[in-house]
Structure 1
Amino acid sequence: MKMELISRETIKPSTPTPPHLKTYPLSFIDNIVFRNYVPLLFFYAPNPNHRQTSTITTLKQSLSQVLSLYYPFAGTFKDQTSIDCNDQGVSLLLTNSSCNLSSILRNPTEASLKPLFPDQLQWKSMNTSSSILVIQINSFACGGIAISLCMSHKVADAATLSNFINDWATLNRHHHQQQQPPLPFPVPGASFFPQENLPLFPEVPFAENNTVCRRFVFEASKIDSLKALVSSCNVENPTRVEVVSAMIYARVVSTLGLSPEKTSFRTAVNLRRRTVPPLPEKSVGNLVWFMLVIGGRKMELDELVVKMKEGLREFSGTYARKLGREGRDWLFISECLKSASSSCGEESDEGLVCCASWCGFPMYEADFGWGKPLWLTSSGCPVRNSVVLMDTRDGGGVEALVNMEEKHMARFQRDVELLRYASLNPTLEFL
């Protein structure tokens, strides 16, 4: 695929950040998060009614507008705990491709997707003076568009990214209307999780291993089969994320020959709806904490789902309560941060399977005026034995991006039990 870089520029907020907002405090969770870029990539079908020049111009203008709402993204890191909201702006790259969108979607490989991300920053660490958000708009010969974002993890989790892309899309979609839809300022995470007198622990380094990534798609009908299998063992209301997570965890342990009693499953839990009181959906930052499920002798799927459900109940009763405003326990929080910060390199331990679920976030609602995305995805992550779960376009299935060492992936991707329920990198037939 031939890609031509057309331009590289900086987009600043349309309205200057007010003086009283110039220093943006980060939350006590943000403060220990490393500054690597989280990648996200959206594909949009060709629209014959749009001309490329006017489309790009409108995207720039609406991006400038949305940055006035998400003003910290246009600043630079002042230190580990705050952002200087100096309106430096975000980097925007524009490219043209000589190929059609369909050639990518027929066989979406890491090699074909890499050039679509800005400067190949996906999961890379950033300098303190670098742009917090970097965007690349890729135009294809057929008229299709792919928009990629690389956002510093230190200021955003998946929910924050989803909110940002949807607000940008909304402003772009209504750009030519005299009255823009009212969009509230997102609420800073530090409003709920302030640093205050807590000790400042080091940022957790982002483990980087030599991994390969494979995409496995669990269609809705296969997930229903997994749910039925688990329900037949008296497990009530298994969710699609639970059964898919349990299946992947079980097959990782089996194919890699790990000890189930010594291999833990760690997943990120969104705190927004679990704290008391709940946090606004448009809270900005890393409003997540980690739930750890310890394996056991039995590796039956229903047993694993039960452990996940029990773990989530315990998490909500302990972590979400003690982290939230009601029932907040500062000593408990300090110990949590200390433990997370001192577990540097834990991700490199083969006795750990890490999972992040981005399912349920309305990323497929991001309509810039040309219709909803055909497909969205991320990029291979250099954390060994890590998994990112995302919705399929129909909302009923799950796409799993699994990252492993190459020698282990060779076995995992041929696992017969896994392939009964998941397809390895199926073609995307949208065009």
Structure 2
Amino acid sequence: MENELVSSETIKPSSPTPSHLRIYPLSFIDNMFVFNIPLLFFYNPNESSDQNSKISQLKKSLSHVLSKYYIFAGRLKDKINIECNDQGVSFLVTKIKNKLSNILKHSEEKMLNPLFADGLQWKEGYPSEALVAIQINCFECGGMAISICMYHKCGDASTLINFMKEWAIISQKLEEENGEELLISPFPLLEGGASIFPQKNLPVFPESLHKRQKNVVCKRFAFQPSVIKFLKELASSSSVLHPSRVLVVKAWIYKHVVSSMGLNFKTSPFLMAVDLRKRMIPPLSEKCVGNIIWMSSMLADKEEMELKDVVCKIKEGLSEFCDVYPKLFGGNDCSLLYEFINKAINLKSKKKDGVGFSSWCNFPIYDVDFGWGKPTWVTTCGCSWKNLIFLMDRKDGKGIDAIVNLEENHMTKFEHEYVELLRCASPKVVTNSWIATSDCS
């Protein structure tokens, strides 16, 4: 795939950040992250306007939304603060000498990676410049792909998706108002960062660094509604009568990744990023910026389990997590909080062969409509961190795409298990199953 860089510029907020919001203190959770989160939106050709008009509209609406998400336009002042100095975000435009349909048919990482700015996807380290980089990719058929990489200290996946949705809403409003200026207010200081999880007397905890593996490959696995229905039937029990689609997919993947690695449930823990917004007491707004997440873990006392037992253990682990951490994070006992955080960090460092999940399901990713229709596909890209799985909704809202990162020999075994699942659940689907592969090294 040939792509040509057309332009590269910096987009700044449409109005200056107030002086009392110039310094944005990060939370003790924000401080732990030092890599970029990538997200990619594909849009079919639309006759309402040409690509140049769309790009102009995107720039203007981006400038407006940055006045609200003013921390995105800032720069790191130090490890625990962002200076909201309105320096702006990177905005690149490329022309792709290919059709959008070809990319969607061949969605390997080698095809997706050039659609991101400057190779920032999952890149670790401290950015010297912009905290957010956006690339607008224009296909020769008229279709577009919008990629964004956000430095994780600014927020989690929920923060990023809310930003994209608000950017799209403002874009539509600008079009409706025929270019009339919009008055965009910045977030109140109490909407994120240290205002929710203050550093207080806690030490700055170790940053989450991942050792990159050269033999890690990434593949996408499509769990169609028929397959999920089959898994629900297998996973239902008197303890969990109606397991959710996300729960059964997580449980099945965990069970078979552990098996593919030649390990067992007593030595390979289940790890999952949990959104705390709705679980805090009282609940927080879903639009809170920052990293409002923590890692839940489950380590079974049996070496082998059936799928329904794995579902029960994961659900029990989440319930126990929700009984402790939201109350703990909302309290004032720093010593107890310090003890729990250290315990979690120590667990993570000792269990090197855990299986980690980050579910982006049930987020409004397909509502990001800039005025020329909803995206035809939304995804992230693979990374070189082994045993890490991302779950995302398919466009129908019923199926799930799993982006699985495993060592190459383990992936071969896992793929065999997936094909067997398709044969059992829906034999007609096997020949049409979507498995995209790439070497992520």
**Bin for the TM-score computed over the shorter chain:** over 0.9
SS in 1 for 2:176: coil
Match of 2:211 among 202, 207, 210: 207
Question: Per-residue CA shift, 1:227-259, capped at 9, x if unaligned?
Answer: 122225552221111100100011111122112
Structure 1 residue 251 corresponds to structure 2 residue 256:
yes
Question: 2:286 corresponds to which residue?
Answer: 281
Structure 1 residue 53 corresponds to structure 2 residue 47:
no
2:109–2:381 CA contact under 8 A, matched in 1? yes
CA distance in 2, matches of 1:401, 1:329: 38
Question: Per-residue CA shift, 1:280-326, capped at 9, x if unaligned?
Answer: 111111100111011323320110110111111111111111112xx
Question: 1:388 corresponds to which residue?
Answer: 390
Question: 2:313 corresponds to which residue?
Answer: 307
Question: Per-residue CA shift, 1:388-410, capped at 9, x if unaligned?
Answer: 00011011111100001112212
Distance 1:184 1:230, change over 3 A: farther
Structure 1: give runs of 5+ residues left out of the alignment: none
Q: How do residues 357-396 of structure 1 correspond to structure 2 at under 5 angstroms?
A: 357-396=359-398
Distance 1:95 1:154, change over 3 A: same
Q: How do residues 57-68 of structure 1 correspond to structure 2 at under 5 angstroms?
A: 57-68=56-67
Match of 2:322 among 312, 316, 322: 316
In the TM superposition, residue 343 of structure 1 has moved relative to its aligned partner by 6.1
Question: 1:163 corresponds to which residue?
Answer: 162
Question: 1:25 corresponds to which residue?
Answer: 25
SS in 2 for 1:83: strand
In the TM superposition, residue 342 of structure 1 has moved relative to its aligned partner by 5.3
Distance 1:200 1:22, change over 3 A: same
CA distance in 1, matches of 2:316, 2:72: 37
CA distance in 1, matches of 2:422, 2:260: 13
Question: Per-residue CA shift, 1:67-100, capped at 9, x if unaligned?
Answer: 1100011111111111011111111110001211
Distance 1:134 1:413, change over 3 A: same
Q: How do residues 74-85 of structure 1 correspond to structure 2 at under 5 angstroms?
A: 74-85=73-84
TM-score by length of 1: 0.93
SS in 2 for 1:146: strand
Distance 1:338 1:52, change over 3 A: same
CA distance in 2, matches of 1:158, 1:369: 23
Question: Per-residue CA shift, 1:260-294, capped at 9, x if unaligned?
Answer: 21110000110000010111111111100111011
Question: 2:43 corresponds to which residue?
Answer: 44
In the TM superposition, residue 181 of structure 1 has moved relative to its aligned partner by 9.0
In the TM superposition, residue 208 of structure 1 has moved relative to its aligned partner by 1.8
Higher percent of residues as helix = 2
2:24–2:193 CA contact under 8 A, matched in 1? no
CA distance in 1, matches of 2:17, 2:186: 15
Question: 1:217 corresponds to which residue?
Answer: 222
1:36–1:206 CA contact under 8 A, matched in 2? no
For 2:243, the aligned partner's letter is: P
Distance 1:83 1:183, change over 3 A: closer
Structure 1 residue 332 corresponds to structure 2 residue 339:
no
For 2:374, the aligned partner's letter is: K
Question: 1:92 corresponds to which residue?
Answer: 91
SS in 2 for 1:174: helix
SS in 2 for 1:7: strand
For 1:353, the aligned partner's letter is: V
For 1:213, the aligned partner's letter is: C
Question: 1:15 corresponds to which residue?
Answer: 15
Q: Percent identity?
A: 49
Structure 1 residue 194 corresponds to structure 2 residue 198:
yes
SS in 1 for 2:111: helix
For 1:362, the aligned partner's letter is: P
Question: Per-residue CA shift, 1:35-91, capped at 9, x if unaligned?
Answer: 211110000010112112211111001001111100011111111111011111111
Q: How do residues 107-122 of structure 1 correspond to structure 2 at under 5 angstroms?
A: 107-122=106-121
Q: Cα RMSD (Å) of the superposition? A: 2.0
For 2:173, the aligned partner's letter is: H
Q: How do residues 127-166 of structure 1 correspond to structure 2 at under 5 angstroms?
A: 127-166=126-165
2:17–2:186 CA contact under 8 A, matched in 1? no
2:359–2:390 CA contact under 8 A, matched in 1? yes
SS in 2 for 1:283: coil
CA distance in 2, matches of 1:106, 1:265: 32
In the TM superposition, residue 27 of structure 1 has moved relative to its aligned partner by 0.9
Moved more, 203-212 or 248-257: 203-212
Distance 1:108 1:183, change over 3 A: farther
Question: 2:187 corresponds to which residue?
Answer: 185
1:268–1:357 CA contact under 8 A, matched in 2? yes
Question: Per-residue CA shift, 1:382-427, capped at 9, x if unaligned?
Answer: 2111100001101111110000111221221122444445975359
Match of 1:356 among 346, 355, 358: 358
SS in 1 for 2:155: coil
1:32–1:337 CA contact under 8 A, matched in 2? no
